[in-house]
Amino acid sequence: MSQRTVTIGSKVGLHARPAKLFTAAAAATGTKVLIAKNGGTPVDASSILRVMTLGAKFGEEVTLTAEGDGADAALDQLAAMLASDLDAVAE
């Protein structure tokens, strides 16, 4: 199992537009990716509702996990997205 811990870079956290961009990218990887706030229950990273219910705010850490072929590449891509200000990209 591959894992990455990343700090949320979007100033609004994983809410609305940043969550939409992130979940679309997670779904496009073709790999089952889970996301969790530290100490929390992992949720499906391709589900916008589940990702938004995490309540991940700017500066908080989340952990991404995935298994199988392409897991490392998928997590690298998604971690880079989360570390950037996705709200600025969405405008």
β-bridge mates for residue 65, sequence order: 3, 34
Query: Do residues 1 and 64 lie in contact, with contact meaning Cβ atoms separated by under 8 Å?
Result: no
Catalytic residue, candidates 4, 8, 10, 15: 15
- Tell me whether residue 15 is one of the annotated catalytic residues: yes
Q: Work out whether strand 33-37 and strand 61-66 pair parallel, antiparallel, or are unpaired.
A: antiparallel
Which residues have a Cβ under 8 Å from the Cβ of 49 and sit 6 or more positions away?
Answer: none
Catalytic residue numbers? 15
